[in-house]
Amino acid sequence: MIEVEHLTKAFKDKKKTITAVNDVSFSIQKGEVVGLLGENGAGKTTMLRMIATVLHPSCGSILIDGIDILKDPMKIKRKIGVLFGSETGLYERLTARENLLYFAKLYGINNHEAKGKVEQLSVRFGMKEYLDRRVAGFSKGMRQKVAIARTLIHDPEVILFDEPTTGLDITSANMFRQLIHELRTEGKTIIFSSHIMEEVKLLCESVIMIHKGELVYHGKLRDLYAEEKSEDLNDIFMSRLVEGA
């Protein structure tokens, strides 16, 4: 379970303060798939970065399975897999396999287990042919697969994807949607941000809507549909933003 309480992040520079996330609270149950919706600049990436322990909140707390992520970030890192947009974080000069083994080592997975996991993921994502080639020559789709494998190498319970399908071609985007669907079946807890309402409708049971850093809605999609007497998520989103503003 993920419990976010009064989460706030302010970025300060010499002239002004930008409150990217403003007093946001919600909780997500184990095994839930949540769509994070918001316009550009709404605070989605900032929020996911804080949950991923890579950005320190200005205020508020985040607990995963009852553990405060700031008190035990290493333990939390092992529980979460993250993929932020097109930042694959791969080492160009290493092969796909070397990259994956390197990240496995960072998570403290022993060599034998890591090798097995790499084999398993390479079959799952059809990477066998290029597993031992250097990432430097890879296409975007190939990189994406290695990056996904990296996200899953330590078998995380919680997975954070920041706009995973933005900028992908149709085939890769569909592969990604299929993956989220499979991970959902495996019982993973997933938060993913997206601009694509159809994808959120298809994959999520709940949504979190944020607007200018503030929480506008959090709840089950079916409850939202019932409240609004409509299943047009685009429309609902727009009207909620106006209300929230």
Instruction: Among 6, 11, 27, 89, indicate the residue that binds ligand ADP (CB under 6 A).
Output: 11
Q: Report d(CA 192, CA 180) in Å as an integer.
A: 9
Closest approach of Mg ion to the CB of residue 203, in Å: 18
Contact segment (CB under 6 A) with ligand ADP among 41-49, 62-70, 142-150, 181-189 equals 41-49
Instruction: Among 22, 28, 34, 44, indicate the residue that binds ligand ADP (CB under 6 A).
Output: 44
Q: Report d(CA 115, CA 93) in Å as an integer.
A: 20
Assess 18 for contact with ligand ADP (CB under 6 A): yes
Residue 40 touches which member of ligand ADP, Mg ion, none, C-beta under 5-8 Å by kind: ligand ADP
In contact, 69 and 51? CB cutoff 8 Å: yes
Instruction: Among 20, 21, 45, 206, indicate the residue that binds Mg ion (CB under 5 A).
Output: 45
Residues shown for the chain = 245
DSSP character at residue 199: H
**What tokens does 9 get?**
């992040």
Q: Report d(CA 190, CA 196) in Å as an integer.
A: 16
For residues 46 and 206, which CB has a smaller minimum distance to ligand ADP in the complex?
Answer: 46
**What tokens does 225 get?**
């549909």
- Give Rg (Cα) of the chain: 18
For residues 3 and 39, which CB has a smaller minimum distance to Mg ion in the complex?
Answer: 39
Contact segment (CB under 6 A) with ligand ADP among 42-50, 67-75, 103-111, 147-155 equals 42-50
Assess 57 for contact with ligand ADP (CB under 6 A): no
In contact, 31 and 206? CB cutoff 8 Å: no
Binding site for Mg ion (CB under 5 A): 44-45
